[in-house]
Structure 1
Amino acid sequence: MTAELVRGQNHPLSQSRLEIRVSAGTPMVAAATLGDEQGRIHGVEWVAHPGTPTLPGLEVSRQAAADHRLAVDLDAMPEAVHRISVLLALPTGVGGPTRFGAVPAPFVAVTGLDGTELVSYTVAGLDSESAVVALELYRRQDAWKVRAIGQGYAGGLADLFTDQGLAQAGQLAGGIHEAVAQGVARSVPAPPSRPDGDRSRQPAAPALGPDQSGPASAPNSVPQQPTSPYGTQSPGASGQPAPQSPYQGGSGAGDGAQQPAPTSGGGIDYSHPRRQTSAPPPPPPTAPPAEPGRPPQPVAGDATGWSMEERLYNQVWGMFEDLARTTAAYRSAVDFAESRMEKELDQVLSDPRSRIGGQGDAAREAAQARHTELVNQARAALDRDIAQLTAESEVVEPALPPAFARWDNPAWHAYRVPMEIPMAVRLGDLHLPESADLRIPMLIRLPLERGLWIDSGRAASLDGSFTDAHDLRRLAMDTAVAHAARLLAVYPAGEFTVHVIDPAGSGAQALAPLVQTGVLAGPPAAGAAGVADVLARLTERVDLIQMALRGGAPDALPPGFDTSQQLLIVNDFPHGFDDRAVTQLRYLADEGPAVGVHLMMVADREDAAGYGPLLDPLWRALLRLTPVPDDHLADPWVGHAWTYVPPLVPPGSQVLQQVLTQVAAARAKHW
C-alpha cells in the first residue's frame, strides 16, 4: 500500500529505478540537485533543470508544466552522491502566480516503473514561498530512503540554491527561469476541469515547439550522460505529455494502468495510479475564482496541514467553529433585540401620557418593528453563513477518508485495512437547532483519551417519540458495535483488540457481526466467572505497563505481550457485577487510557443508582454518547448544547459485515 508521508517523515525505498510524479494546478518548474554526505552541491553541474535536464541516473522535464515525471535510477548514481533533492518552483516573468499560497498544494508521488505508487506527499502549508524542496532521496548504509521535506523559500530558487551551498546560486536560478521563459509556449497547463460525473481520462496536451535544452558540461566526478537513465526517453520529459493530476477527475475504470509511450506524436493517456481502489481523491486545496457578488466556491482540504487527512480534519473542526460562532452571533443579536424592545416598551408604559389615545400603540408598533428588523437582519446573516457551510459540507463529506466518513460514504466500499493509525475517528454528527439539516462530523483524536459510555437509559428522543426500554437497550448495543467496528477498521492489522463482557448474554444479537467475523479476542464473557477473568487480565495489563513505564523500561514486558490497543465493551452494567468488578471498572476507566486500555460501557445510570455516589467518578471519566439523537453535548466555548446523532449503519447495508471480514482476514495474516 502507498505510504502517505507528512513533513519530516521518511520511508525506505524497495526499488532503485523510480519515477517521481508531480501534479499541481498550475505550470511550475521541476528540478533536482545532487548532494554529498553533508548535502552540499559541488557546482552547477550537480543540478538537473530545464536547461540541463539529464545527469547520471537522473532526468527532469525541459519545460514548465502542471504535471511532471522525473526519472531516477539510484543504481546509476555516482558514489559521491548521497542525496537527491527534488525541487519545485513557480516560473518568473511569465505572468503566472508568484507564491505557492495562491496555487493548489503540489502532490508528489514516488512510483516504480510499473506505476505502483510507493510513497506520496502533499506539499501543503506554503504561503509566500516561490520555490520548495519537496522530497529528498538519501543514502543510508547502502540503502536509499525518501523523506518529505516541504521546505519553502520566499526568495525562490536563488535562496534555495544558496541554502544548499551553491556559489553560483543567483546565476543558475536566472538561467533556469530564462530557459523556461524561452520555452513558455511549450508549457503544459493544468488539465481542464470536467463536468461532475465525467470520470473519463483525457490525454494531456502534448508539448509543442523545438527542444530548448542546451549542452551541458559535467565535472570529472559526475560525467555527462546524454541519455535517459532508463535507456529510453521517459514519458513526461523532453516534450512528452505530462501525466494527469491525481486531483482531476475520478477513479474510473482503468485507473492506474500504464500506457506504453508511443514512438511518435499523438496523445497519451497517463492515468495516475494513485488510489486505484479507493474513493476519488479530493480536489486541490484552493477555491476557483468566485463570480462577482457570490462567495468563493468551497473545496475539500483547504485548511492548513501537512497531509490531506490533517487538512480535512482541520477543515471539519473549522466548520464546527464557524457554525458555533455564527449561531452565537445570531442568538446574541436576538437577545439584544428582545432586550431593547422590552426597554422601549417599559419607557412607553412608564409615561402616563403615552397610555392615552393611539400614542402608546404607535410606540409599541415602532418598538416591535425595530425588533423584527434586527431579528430579520440577524437571521439573514445566519442563513448566509449556513448556506456557505452547507455548500462546504457537500464538498467535504464525499472527500473524507473512511475514518472520518459516515457508514453510507462510498469510501467504505473501497475499504482496505490501513497501514497507519489515522489522526481521528468519527463517532457521530453534531448539529444545532437553527441549522438542523447541517451536520458536522464529530471527530475524536486517536488514541482515545477517555472511554465511552453508550447511554441506554433515555426513553424519549428529541422529536418527542417514545422508545421502548427494551428497544433502547438494543439500539445502545447496536451503537456500541458500530463504534467498535469503526475503531477496528481504522487501526492497522493487529493493533486493536476488542473484548466483550455480556454477563447474561442479552447482547448476543447485536454482537453477532463481531462474533461471526472473528474479530474479537475471544467469545463474549458471560457469568460471574467470565466477568472476573476478563477484568483481572485487563487490570493486570494496566499494572504491568505502568510498572514498566515507572521503571523507565517500557520494553521490559513479558515475552509475547500483546502491545495493541485494547477495548473492553461492557454490556448491561451493573447487572452481574459485584463490588470487586465495579472497583476494577473504575480503575480501568481512570488509568486505562494512558496505557492503551479503553472502556466502552453500555449502561443506564439510573440502574446503577444503587451503588450511590461510588460510581459518579466512573460516569465523569467517560464520554457519554446516545443511541438516539440527544442535545446533551455542552460546548463551553460559546455555551451551545449540541445535538449528537449516532453513526448507525443504514438499514439493510452489508458494509459493516464487509469491513469486519477484511479486518478479520488481515488480523489472521498478522498473527
Structure 2
Amino acid sequence: MTAELVRGQNHPLPQARLEIRVSAGKPIVAGATLSDEQGTVHGVEWVAHPGSPTLPGLEVSKQAAADHRLACDLDALPESVHRVSVLLALPSGGSGPLRFGSVAAPFVAVTGLDGSEVASYTITGLDAESAVVALELYRRQGAWKVRAVGQGYAGGLAELLADQGLPEARQLAGSINDAVAQGLARSVAAPPPRTSEGDRSRHAATPALGQNQGGATPQGAPGHVSPQHGHPGGPGHTASGTPGHATPQGGHPGGPGQPDPSAVTQPAGAGGPVDYSHPGRQAAAPPPPPPTAPPAQPGQPAQPVAGDATGWSMEERLYNQVWGMFEDLARATAAYRSAVDFAESRMEQELDKVLSDPRSRIGGQGDAAREAARAKHSQLIDRAREALDRDLAQLTAEAEVVEPALPPAFARWDNPVWHGYRVPMEIPMALRLGDLHLPESAGLSIPMLVRLPLERGLWIDSGRSGSFDGSIADSDDLRRLGMDTAVAIAARLLAVYPAGEYTLHVIDPAGSGASSLAPLVQAGVLNGPPAAGAAGVTDVLARLTQRVDLVQMAIRGGAADSLPPDLDTAEQLLIVNDFPHGFDDRAVTRLRYLADEGPAVGVHLMLVADREDATAYGPLLDPLWRSLLRLTPTPDDHLADPWVGHAWTYDPSRVPPGSQVLQHVLTQVAAARRSWNR
C-alpha cells in the first residue's frame, strides 16, 4: 500500500534498490546530495547533478525535464553516507518560470524497480522558492526510511547547497546551470533487476575528504536550539532581543549544531576500507565497530542499543545517537501536527461545503454530511496519533538504554555513573545542560548537549519570564534557583575537565549568592573568594580582560611562547550573580568585550540575571543579552529546534534533593587540583 506523505512524515523503505520519480509539468532540474549522519555535504564529490550524474549507488538525470527517474541503490552507498537528499530546481535564465509558486506542485514518488509505489509526496506551499529539498532517504538504526521534507529556498541551488554545509555551493550551482544549458543526454534508464550473482558490491569510490573539510563544529547539539520567537529564514532562525540564538551550520532545513563528523581520508575511486579519523583527536588504531542490536522478531522494530550511531569512540557514538533521537522526535511531532492541521482544514472545508448548499442546511441530509465530516476528522486524528505513539514508543525504548550508558559529561546528576566519578584525563566532546521535551511527549526527554569548549556564554534568567512553575511566586526564590542552576553547571564544567585545565571566578557584588555558592567555596575549587563590591567587580574584570588581550596578541603575532610564565592558560569561567547590580558603564563595557572576544581565547561567561532588571539599563545590554544562550532555572518553553521551530520545554539538570553527589564530585575535583598544583 502506498504511503501518501505530508511534510515531515517518514516511512520505512522495504528494499535497497529504488527509483525516485519526479513529475513537475514544467522542465526542472533534479539532483541529489549525499551527506553524513548530521546532514553535512562534505564536497562537490558528494553531489549528483546534470554535469556529474553518477555517484556510488546513485544516478540522476543529465538535463532539465518535466519528468525524471533517479536510480538509487542503498546497499552501494559508501559507509559514511547516511542521507540522500533529492533536490529539485528551476533552470536559471531563459523564459521559463523563476519560482515554484508559478508552476504546478511537483510530485515525487519512491518506487521499486517493478514500478510499485512505496511512498509519494506532493510538494505544496511553495511560492518564491526556486529550489527545494523534496525528500530524503536516511539511515536510522541500520534501516532506511524516506522522509518528506519540502524545504524551499528563494536563493536557488546556491542557497540550498550552502545550507547543507557545502563550501563551494555558489560555484557548483553555476556549473549545474551551465550543464543544464548545454542540454546533455536524457534521463537515466531503469537499472537492471538484481540477480543472485549480480548484486552490486559496495564501492569504495568514496569522496575524498581531508581532515579539515568537515567544517567547524558549532555549538550545541541535541540541544543546539534557536530561540522560539524567530522567523523562518532557512537555516537559523533569528530573534530580536532573544538570547539563545545560534546559527546552525550545514543544516537541512536548518540543521542544529552538529558533532564533528569522522573525516574520510580515502581518495576518490580508491579501493579498500574507509579510514575514519576524528578531526580533533589523534589515534594509532581505527575505531572499533559500533555495537549491533539483537535480531528483531518478524514484524517488530529492531531492539535499540546504546552507541549504535557512527563515531570514533563510544562517547562520540552516544553523542551522535542522542542527536538522532532529538531529530527523530522533532520530525515525528512535526508529522503529527501537520496531519492534525490537515484534518482540521479538511473538516472545515467539508462543513463549509455543507453550509454553502441551501438544500443541505436543514433536514437529515445536512446532519449526515456534518457527522461524516467529523467522523473522518476523528479517524485522521486517530491515525496520526497512532503513528506518533509508535514513534514515541520506539524513542522511549531507545532512551531507556541510552541514558544509563551515558558518560558523566552527558549524564543526569541522578545517574549512578557520577557515584564512581574520577577526574578525567581528557576533555569530553560535550556537556549536558539539561533536558528538552515537547507537549506531545512529556514523558520522553532528550538530553540537551552543548559542544566543548563553550563557544557562547550562558544567561541564567532568574526572572519570571514565562516560567511554568507557578508555585514559585517570590522573586528571591527565583534568584536563588538561578544561582543554584549556575553552580550545578559550573560544577559539571569543573568535573569534566582534567585537573588544572579549568579555572572558576565568581562575582557576587552584594553577597546574595553566598548560600548557593557554598559548595564551591567549601570545596576550595574557586580561583579566589567571590568578588564583592565595586572594587571586586573592577579587579576581576580587569584581570580577565588583560588575559584576553595578551592571548589575542600572542596568537596574532605567532608568539605564544612570549606569554608571561605566570599566566593561567586554563579555560576560564566567570560567574556573575545579580547582574547588572554593582556594574557601572565601564564594567558593562568590559563584560561585553569578554562575551564577544573571550570564548575564542578560553574565557567564558555565565550571568545570573533578571531580564526585566536589565531593561532598566536601556539598549546598552541588548547586544550582551542577544549574544548569550538563555537558560532558565525552572521549566520554560523558550527554545526552538532549527528544523520546524517546535517550542521545546527546557528543564535544567538538577542535583536530587538530599543527594551528596555534588559534594562528592567537588571533593574529587579539589583533591586533583591540589595534586596538580604541587
| Change beyond 3 A, Cα 1:448–1:501 | same
Shift of 1:124: 13
Contact 2:574 2:604 in 1 (8 A): yes
Distance 2:387 2:489 in 1: 37
Structure 1: runs of 5 or more not aligned = 1-97, 100-122, 136-144, 152-282
* 2:654 match: 648
Does the 8 A contact of 1:289 with 1:297 survive in 2?
Answer: yes
Displacement of 1:527 = 0.7
Report whether the alignment pairs 1:659 with 2:665: yes
Is 1:301 matched up with 2:438? no
Which residue of 276, 285, 292 maps to 1:148? 285
Matching of residues 580-591 of structure 1 within 5 Å: 580-591=586-597
With over 3 angstroms needed to count, the CA separation of the structure-2 counterparts of 1:661 and 1:131, relative to structure 1, is farther
- Please tell me whether the aligned partners of residues 631 and 641 of structure 1 are also in contact (alpha carbons under 8 angstroms): yes
Provide the residue aligned with 1:341 in structure 2. 347
The answer on whether the counterparts of 1:398 and 1:409 sit within 8 Å (CA) in structure 2 is: yes
Whether contact under 8 Å (2:466, 2:636) holds in the other structure is no
SS in 2 for 1:639: coil
Which residue number in structure 1 is paired with residue 613 of structure 2? Answer: 607
Q: CA RMSD in A?
A: 2.8
Cα distance change, pair 482–130 in 1 and its aligned pair in 2 (3 A) = farther
State the secondary structure of the residue aligned to 1:148.
coil
Q: Taking structure 1 as reference, are residues 146 and 470 closer, same or farther at Cα in structure 2, changes over 3 Å only?
A: closer
Q: What letter is aligned with 2:315?
A: E
Shift of 1:575: 1.1
Aligned partners of 2:472 and 2:478 also within 8 Å: no
- Judging changes above 3 Å, is the alpha-carbon distance between structure 1 residues 602 and 613 closer, same or farther for their aligned structure 2 residues? same
Give the alignment partner of residue 627 of structure 1, picking from 616, 625, 633: 633
1:519 pairs with 513, 519, 525, which one?
Answer: 525
Count of residues in correspondence between the two structures: 413
CA distance in 2 between partners of 1:581 and 1:409 (Å): 40
Larger Rg: 1
Q: After TM superposition, give the deviation of residue 359 of structure 1 in Å.
A: 1.2
Q: Is the contact between residue 290 and residue 310 of structure 2 (CA under 8 Å) also seen in structure 1?
A: no
- Please say if residues 463 and 478 of structure 2, whose CA atoms lie closer than 8 Å, have aligned partners that are also in contact: yes
SS in structure 1 of the partner of residue 326 of structure 2:
helix
Alpha-carbon deviation of 1:552? 2.1
| 1:378-408 deviation per Cα after TM superposition (whole angstroms, max 9, x unaligned) | 0000000000000000000000000000000
Give the 3 Å change call, closer, same or farther, for CA 371–470 of structure 1 in structure 2.
Answer: same
Q: Distance in 2 between matches of 1:352 and 1:532?
A: 79
Whether 1:578 and 2:584 are equivalent positions in the alignment is yes
Amino acid at match of 2:319: Y
Q: Using the alignment, how far apart are the partners of 1:464 and 1:557 within structure 2? A: 51
**Change beyond 3 A, Cα 1:146–1:632:** closer
Q: Do structure 1's residue 397 and structure 2's residue 400 form an aligned pair?
A: no
1:495 to 498, 501, 504: 501
Aligned to 1:368: 374
Shift of 1:132: 7.3
Q: For residue 320 of structure 1, what is the aligned residue in structure 2? A: 326
3-state DSSP class of the match of 2:449? Answer: strand
**1:561 alignment counterpart:** 567
Instruction: Quote how far apart the aligned CAs of 1:492 are.
Output: 0.5
Is the 8 Å Cα contact of residues 633 and 641 (structure 1) preserved in structure 2?
Answer: yes
Alpha-carbon distance between aligned partners in 2 of 1:555 and 1:359, rounded to the nearest angstrom? 89
Work out whether residues 290 and 309 of structure 2, in 8 Å CA contact, stay in contact via their aligned partners in 1: no
Segments of 4+ in structure 1 off by > 6 A? Answer: 123-126, 129-135
> Which runs of structure 2 are paired with 1:225-240 in the superposition (5 Å)?
none
Contact 1:418 1:491 in 2 (8 A): yes
2:523 corresponds to 1:386: no
Identity %: 81
TM-aligned CA distance change 1:637 to 1:284, over 3 Å: closer
Counterpart contact for 1:460–1:466, Cα < 8 Å: no
Once residues 283 and 614 of structure 2 are traced to their aligned partners in structure 1, the CA distance between those partners, rounded to angstroms, is: 55
> Which residue is equivalent to 1:457?
463
Within the candidate set 416, 422, 425, 2:422 is matched to: 416
- Cα displacement (A) at 1:284: 6.0
TM-superposed CA distance for 1:344, in Å, is 0.7
Superposition deviation, residue 608 in structure 1: 1.4
Structure 2 residue identity aligned to 1:526: A
The alpha-carbon distance between structure 1 residues 464 and 346, as it changes in their structure 2 partners (threshold 3 A), is farther
Kindly state the Cα deviation for residue 465 of structure 1 after the two structures are TM-superposed.
3.3
Alignment TM-score, normalising by the size of structure 2 = 0.58
**Residue 574 of structure 1 contacts residue 608 of structure 1 at CA under 8 Å; is this kept in 2?**
yes
Decide whether the 8 Å contact of 2:577 with 2:607 is kept in 1.
yes
- Give the counterpart letter for 1:147 in structure 2: A
1:81-120 alignment, distance < 5 Å: none
1:455 deviation in Å? 0.4
SS in 2 for 1:314: helix
